[in-house]
Amino acid sequence: MGTRRGRERLERCASCGRAVPRAKAVEHSKRTHFTTDLKEDNVTYTGFSDVYYCISCAKHRGIFEIKKRENARKREREMYG
């Protein structure tokens, strides 16, 4: 039997398609918005889907900045709230 370190799950970067270990992937909740404009119905779905980015794509897209801001806000609330 081979010694496989296969416990780490791989996620696919939503931007460049590279496989990234979950530990290094940057999770980002993306709001998805669907509109079906059919004759009889006009339905709008809004939902969140989790996407993953590799670190360089996350940097490029400013996701780290968003995360930082979110974390800072959370921390502030914990400290002063």
Stretch that binds Zn ion, among 4-12, 25-33, 38-46, 57-65 (CB under 5 A): 57-65
Contact status, residue 30 vs residue 69, Cβ threshold 8 Å = no
Is residue 33 within 8 Å of residue 71, measured between CB atoms?
no
| Smallest distance from Zn ion to CB 8, Å | 17
* 10-12/42-53 β-pairing: unpaired
Under the binding rule (CB under 5 A), the answer on residue 13 touching Zn ion is yes
Question: Tokens in use for 27?
Answer: 């999770």
57: contact with Zn ion by CB under 5 A: yes
Residues of this chain that bind Zn ion (CB under 5 A): 13, 15-16, 54, 57
